[in-house]
Amino acid sequence: MTLRLTDTLILRPLVAEDFEAMAALMGDPDVTRYLYWGPRTREEARDPFEKRRACGIIAPGVTQLSLGIEESGRLIGEVALMHLDNPHRDGELGYMLVNGFGGRGIASCAAGAMLRIGFEQLKLHRIHARCDDRNIASWRVMEKIGLRREAHHLSNEWVKGEWTGALVYALLENEWEAASR
């Protein structure tokens, strides 16, 4: 299953050959700067990679959907809908790109496609996303794809040795339908 987003950009399930690229991504301290985890060693990246690789199927009822972002044949990132094993039909959107590929709208394009998949194929009721409030590129993506800011928690979490704030964005299925009309 491959989803073509532009002439050069596709979303596709991860395959075993993607491990080195994904381990490098998870091991980059700049990429993981505002995440709860990381940077991961190559060994630490193995289990999360295998979990993502097992989650490339688009079907109602899946617990996670993880797709690779490929540009001109190179894996340059990932986008995911996570924590779908709840009774609320709520999913959390996440994305990350190889350093150097940011600022060209790639994440917004990939995340927008996942929003559509989440509502139209996975039949989710709500999709939310959250990020460290210093992660401007991340919350800009959330706004660009039409998520609505629900909360700004100030200094609410102790992450990587410091207090951090969190921004929470979301969209409901009825809002998606109204926006799509």
Residue ranges binding ligand COA (CB under 6 A): 31, 34-35, 94-97, 102-108, 131, 135-138, 140-141
Q: Find the shortest distance in angstroms from Cβ 145 to ligand COA.
A: 9
- Give dist(CA 125, CA 30) in Å, integer: 33
- Give least dist CB 60 to ligand COA, A: 25
Give the β-pairing of 126-132 and 90-97.
Answer: parallel
* Residue number with CB closer to ligand COA (29 or 61): 29
- Select 56 or 164, whichever has its Cβ closest to ligand COA: 164
Q: What minimum distance in Å lies between the beta carbon of 36 and ligand COA?
A: 9
Q: How far, in Å, are 128, 143, 146 from residue 167 at the CA level?
A: 10, 11, 15
Distance of closest approach, residue 17 Cβ to ligand COA, in angstroms = 21
Of the candidates 59, 44, 35, which has an alpha carbon nearest to the alpha carbon of residue 118?
Answer: 59
76 with 69: CB under 8 angstroms? yes
**Beta strands 74-82 and 148-159, pairing class:** unpaired
Nearer to ligand COA, 74 or 104 (CB): 104
